[in-house]
Amino acid sequence: MGAEPGILSHAESVESRLGSAALAEREGRARERESVLLRVAKRARGVTERKAVEDDPAGLKWSTYCGSKRRYRDSQLDGLIDARVPWRGKVTPEIREKMVAARRWNGNIGVLEIEQRVLVDDGVGLSDSTVKRALRKDGVNRPRGGVPRGSKKQRPTAEASAVVATNGSEGTGNGGRISPDGSGEREPPQRLELAGMKLVEMGARETGLLHELAAGIEEGVAALPVGESDTGPDVAGRDERGRFLAEYDERYLKGETDLGPGFQTS
């Protein structure tokens, strides 16, 4: 039985999608499989089919042999040609190179921005997990929390220059300054975790706030009325070791006159 009308045979499908070279290679493997089927069919009398498959030098598994035998019975040699096409993901080597170059150029570029650039430049839509997996494979993925402290921005490559969008910000895009030596290269940005406190400290120094505050506290303390002399710690209701006795709590018990009408006993 051949292929149904309107449906390509295995040989035609492989040739149209993979080319003549792939068809020749797969047809050669199909003929080797056909020779195994013919040898098993011509086995000696008294030898079971399964025993002949096990003893054949090709070393086919019984399940593989049964599937090949069924396809050969239905479509002859064409049924033994492998018509499967290797899966090709969206991330081609060119796209992967662009993504890696973009991350190496700018360590703070996000996954969403990389997806947008690939969509605009190559017309390929990628998911977050696909981009992260590709960056992780090349060792340029970011750990949780952003760029690690002390990391250095690598020099740009020609591929990275082609990827960087011409939006008026060529360097790191996160505060990098032009090198003072006039080379035109950008220095890596400095992370200022304590920038807010430094601004407060500088403002306090410029305005003299701390001095005024200290002077005001000293004046307030000096204006406080002089109270009675210190009589020492309260040792009532304690034993010689300072432990509390029952009298310590009894002196704070309230009598019936101190309680409201809702708490008085009848």
pLDDT digits (tens, 9 = 90+) for 11-31: 888 888 888 998 999 999 999
The mean pLDDT of the chain is: 77
8 Å CB contact between 189 and 106: no
List, for residues 33-66, the tens digit of each pLDDT value.
Answer: 999 999 999 999 899 999 999 999 999 999 999 9
Average pLDDT over residues 149-169: 46
Number of domains forming the structure of the chain = 2
CATH of residue 113's domain is 1.10.10
> What's the confidence (pLDDT) of residue 69?
93
Looking at residues 133-152, what average pLDDT do you find? 70
Instruction: Look at residues 78, 69, 3 and name the one whose alpha carbon lies nearest to residue 37.
Output: 69
What is the residue range of 37's domain? Answer: 10-80
State mean pLDDT over 199-228: 82
pLDDT tier for residue 149 given thresholds of 50, 70 and 90:
low
Is 185 contained in some domain?
A: no
In a domain, 19, yes or no: yes
CA 68/CA 32 separation, integer angstroms: 11
**Distant-in-sequence, close-in-space partners of 78: CB < 8 Å, separation ≥ 6:** 2, 3, 9, 10, 11
Maximum Cα interatomic distance, the chain, rounded to a whole number of Å: 124
Spatial distance between the Cα atoms of 133 and 154, rounded to a whole number of angstroms: 21
243 within domain boundaries: no
Q: Which of 80, 111, 126 is the last residue of a domain?
A: 80
